[in-house]
Structure 1
Amino acid sequence: MKAVIYGGKGKINVENIDEPKLRNDTDVLVRVKAASICGTDVRLYWGTMNDMFGYEAGDAMGHEFAGVVEEVGKAVHNFKKGQRVVSPFSTHCGHCYYCERDHITHCEKLTAFGLGKHWGSLGGGQAELVCVPNADRTLLALDDRVSDEHATVLPDVLTGVFASFEGMRGGSSVAILGCGPVGLASVMCARLLGAGPIFAIDHHENRLAIAAKLGAIPINFDQQDPVDAVKSQTGGRGADIATDTVGKIGSVNLAYPLVRPRGVLKMLGYIDPKEQIPIGPASLAHITLEPCLVPPIRRYQPRVMKLIADGKLDPTPLLSHTMPLSEAPLAYKMMGERLDGAIKIVLKP
């Protein structure tokens, strides 16, 4: 079968590899109909997260995929051949200390698709076939009203952002740093949950324009001071919530003065563990730091899928391009270098 393979820093190949087989009676083979490229995939493409993940040349890419059940293990009860399904980016055992407390992305036996040996070396989702372990616990049957393309935001980005914003009070002011896929998803979810005003901060005009269409107040930090802009529309206090989707020390330092005292700073961007995040500003202003990476995706997937099916969340603005799997090298270049307005690209095997 054809699969997207990491070829070393800045290099992606589409190669013929052996088809996966059922390894356990609880496995399901999924024929992939659509797979999207995540920002994490782009970081792996550039080699910036590879040591942490144990990612090497020859590893298969991708953890956001949807498809159709191809083959079912003998001990699988909830799925049958031909059924449309989507998977979260990871699997969990269901029995360990963390799973019993519903912290499934901290499962002691967690494995993830296409994220290297430190995450269990499962096959990548940007391929024609994927073997899904613990299928009854992992897979979700797709609502017929949700397209394959839209389903690719369920394994990670849109579901993860929604989980991070759940519980937010209606009417909260929110400042979002970065208008990539996570930032735009943050605008969508904040608006759905009743936030306002919502500020979107970036310097790419095409992305700011999308954020504005989604209901945010766009702020180009090359043209105006974001702190002044936010405070001028929040009674001089700052936003109730700031959300950093960039994952850089510079963006965290910008986020602090955007948040009012006793506000919340949500950290959705991946920050290199070698970096030192300053705590002083949070301590002085009693700002709550809320790490939001890898929430329990599978718990939230049914709810977010229903919101998409009911037309309350529309992933279309996140998905800038759809391309054949054979063009994955170009797709990664487009996302990695932000060419042709690329935000998030869906690959079709």
Structure 2
Amino acid sequence: MNSIASDSYVVHFKEKAYNALNEHLKDANYSKIFILVDENTHDLCLPLFMAEINGDYSYEIIEIEAGEIHKNLETCAQVWEAMSELDADRKSLMINVGGGVVTDMGGFIASCFKRGIPFINVPTTLLAMVDASVGGKTGIDLGALKNQIGVINQPQMVLVISDFLNTLEERQLQSGFAEMLKHGLIKDKKYWTELQMLSNFELMDDFIYHSILIKNEVVLQDPTEQNLRKILNFGHTLGHAIESYFLESATHETLLHGEAIAIGMIMEAFLSKELTGLSVKELEDIRTTFLKRYKKIVFTEEDIQAILGLLKFDKKNSHGNINFVLLRSIGNPEIDIKIPNNLYIKAFDYYKV
């Protein structure tokens, strides 16, 4: 499987990933290597990863608590303090071994420490492999508001090793699969159809590769998200608001990213039918596909109003406008669409049916 060049770095796969890492470590002469993990990847992934590293290097393992709720400035400060106490300098390297929380936050931590040290991302979840692996987005949440603080900064390399998927529960795999379905919806109708027919998560390498190719093609054309890259946010305007609401709710179970985005994609597909010409047939195809895989969530009127109140914090907003990515058809998106207020409730009603 060929490596994928993305801007200033390369995404390597499987055995080539370890070979590329070992060559890089041998040549780079880092003063110290810091490996960031959470409590899950520390136990399940780190031993597999360390067993493949050749050479005698100075390592420090830093473990954080798992979960989106810990993707915040407080955790960053704890890691920065630990790095300082462990004599990190500007010639140190950070390797982030984990899901999207670890890679997003680890990249941000590295980008800010001593005005920036190099980092390598090793995504261990399906979501992180197909989403966080490309684009250089790093960041943390502000309270329950997703990814409000961060920078775009590229890693030295990304290592996609699908063996780590064997450590995941079905729910985590389904969460990542939602982003893959999104790639089909925004860029490749044939891919969307192929993913619909997938009955299990075995032999995923080719699908992961194709998703990374799709995202990489978009990012290379618009690295700082001025225009085209916005299409990657389909389903995320409402989806992020839903995710944030459930994250801070004391009465609702927290939703995984892909679970919230799946709901967002159903609702934003409905808005697409209303505003940008998505056919009823394709709308129903989208709705049916997601509801087969993701548990339906019950929203009260209070929930809906709170979620809509969070839309003003979406990162795509500008000049006071809430900007949506909608579909003209499957594989054919349109950016910067304004939504009439009366359609928000109709979108929730469509999801409820």
When the two structures are superposed, what TM-score results if normalisation uses the length of structure 1?
0.28
Please state which structure has a larger fraction of its residues in helix: 2
Please state which structure has a larger fraction of its residues in strand: 1
When the two structures are superposed, what TM-score results if normalisation uses the length of structure 2?
0.28
